[in-house]
Amino acid sequence: MRYTVFSGGKRIRPILCLAACQSAGGKDSDAIDVACAIELIHNYSLIHDDLPSIDDDDTRRGEPTLHKKFSESTAILAGDALLTLSFGILSKDSFSKRRFRVINELSHAISSFGMIGGQVVDIQSKNKDIDTATLNYINIHKTGMLIAASLKAGAISGGAKESDVKRIFKFGEYAGLIFQIVDDILDNDGYAKMLGRQGAYIEAQRLTQEARLILKSSGRGARVLNAILEFILKRGY
Amino acid sequence: MRYTVFSGGKRIRPILCLAACQSAGGKDSDAIDVACAIELIHNYSLIHDDLPSIDDDDTRRGEPTLHKKFSESTAILAGDALLTLSFGILSKDSFSKRRFRVINELSHAISSFGMIGGQVVDIQSKNKDIDTATLNYINIHKTGMLIAASLKAGAISGGAKESDVKRIFKFGEYAGLIFQIVDDILDNDGYAKMLGRQGAYIEAQRLTQEARLILKSSGRGARVLNAILEFILKRGY
């Protein structure tokens, strides 16, 4: 569990979560447990994605993947344990209606209706020509849902009013899609193959403009969110 | 997910959960979601246990295991999805302090400090001679913790007072151990190998007597719990 969690990573999801909390007027302490739980969930998903029967990846962040370093059974169980630990962290100490809702939102986002659903369709599509609708389904679910849920969970934790929770979730859906397009540009895959690298980058820029309009508010949280969006976009430059 | 969950199974854990809820004076509706979530957790653990890199089992309940019927990636993801769904069910609708605590107790019981920890030590002990302490560690964690947590979660959901929660958890620890000893008698494994089948059965009987004394109360819930204990013991006869 430590081997993967402390092997680096950009911590984009927890940062988005904390920024969303700030933008709602909350303190970091309102969302720090949520942010940590989300990063553990993300790391669990990486460990299981890398497994031989799924993506069969030998390296991650420049190091051997967990199943290469230890064993396949260790990787399966470490992933299970990280997923479980995330709910342990979400439910420790601070009991509140907000936190209860966060648990429900996150479990939905990573369920078979969310992240896992996207992963299943991705596996079923391997080595097949897929249409844009399927590619969108995969990306929205496999990558987008957890990113959008990170923002939503932060906003809820910070006490945002319902209309702001909705808006920040919408922003998160854009952020997730942009993240994936940029990933595809870097890997010359998915959208980059479908639209060409230049076309994909233009699409990412267009979506970034749209996402900025959704945020509207101009407080410190919104500035941080816009800066992260810029960072996500620039990775593909 | 459906293939495994609806393939039979004795539903011992949810029954224990509901009985514990009853024994605390609660209604079935106070614990039914918890009972369902626990059964999903149990099914997730079976799917992952059966995987080629863990127990490598081809059949379960007389049918092909999930990874044999579908694929290994399907089995990994279906297990992940069942674990996730269980927390979705635990956090839907009915928000309460009790439910929040149940989420924390269950996540602890199946974490690397509980069920997964037991599974890891079990894998590390494969094809090795192990001492009684290690065998106890494996059984208490791999099997016992979820059974004991099922009872505890039911008691909490039914509104039991703290001393009764503690007592029913203790009863659950005995129930888990008896369950495992009987399993070993049926498989001629573990305790049966260590104590002989007859010796193991005598030990299970002795523990059953002790467990009965812990319960003390004599309401309908306690009668159900004693009946289940009897059922668990008699499987090995």
All domains of chain A, ordered by start, with CATH?
10-32+95-234 (1.10.600.10)
From the list B73, B74, B102, B72, the residue with the least C-alpha distance to B86 is B102
Length of chain A: 237
pLDDT band at B235; cut points 50, 70, 90? confident
Please give the pLDDT value at position A190.
Answer: 87
User: Which position has the token pair 């059922």?
Assistant: B231
Residues on B contacting A at a C-beta cutoff of 8 Å:
1, 48, 51, 53-54, 71-74, 76-77, 79-81, 83-85, 87-88, 90-92, 95, 97, 99-101, 103-104, 107-108, 110-112, 116, 119-120, 123
How large is the average pLDDT for residues B112-118? 97
- pLDDT tens for residues B156-166? 999 999 999 99
Torsion of CA B126, B131, B134, B136, to 10 degrees: 110
Per the CB < 8 Å rule, is B116 touching A84? yes
- pLDDT tens for residues B47-100? 999 999 999 999 998 999 999 999 999 999 999 999 999 999 999 977 789 999
Chain B closest CA to A4's CA: distance in Å? 15
Bridge-based pairing of strands B59-60 and A59-60 is: unpaired
User: What is the interface size between A and B, counted as CB pairs within 8 Å?
Assistant: 110
Of A99, A104, A119, the CB nearest to B77: A119
Please give the pLDDT value at position A237.
Answer: 58
Prediction ipTM score:
0.95
Please give the pLDDT value at position B58.
Answer: 97
Please give the pLDDT value at position A217.
Answer: 66
Chain B closest CA to A176's CA: distance in Å? 21
Please give the pLDDT value at position A222.
Answer: 83
Is residue B163 packed enough to be buried (19+ CB in 10 Å), middle (13-18) or exposed (0-12)?
A: exposed
Please give the pLDDT value at position A215.
Answer: 84
Give the C-alpha distances (Å, rounded to integers) separating A28 from A19, A25, A51, A91, A232: 9, 10, 34, 17, 22
Model's pTM, two decimal places? Answer: 0.95
Cβ-Cβ contacts under 8 Å, A100 against chain B: 91, 95, 99-100
Of A71, A76, A110, the CB nearest to B48: A76
Q: How far apart are CA A73 and CA A125, in angstroms?
A: 26
pLDDT band at B230; cut points 50, 70, 90? very high
Asked if the model's pLDDT at residue B236 lies above 70, the reply is no
How large is the average pLDDT for residues B176-195? 91
User: How many Cα neighbours within 13 Å face the side chain of B139?
Assistant: 23
Secondary structure tally for chain B: helices H, strands E: 13, 2
Q: How far apart are CA A187 and CA A183, in angstroms?
A: 6
How many CB atoms are located within 10 Å of the residue B55 CB? Answer: 17
User: How many Cα neighbours within 13 Å face the side chain of B136?
Assistant: 6
Asked if the model's pLDDT at residue B18 lies above 90, the reply is yes
pLDDT band at B218; cut points 50, 70, 90? low
How many CB atoms are located within 10 Å of the residue B127 CB? Answer: 4
How many CB atoms are located within 10 Å of the residue B11 CB? Answer: 15
How large is the average pLDDT for residues B23-29? 94
Cβ-Cβ contacts under 8 Å, B83 against chain A: 80, 83-84
Give the C-alpha distances (Å, rounded to integers) separating B50 from A109, A136, B6, B42: 27, 33, 17, 12
Residues of chain A falling short of pLDDT 70: 217-218, 236-237
Q: How far apart are CA A96 and CA B100, in angstroms?
A: 9
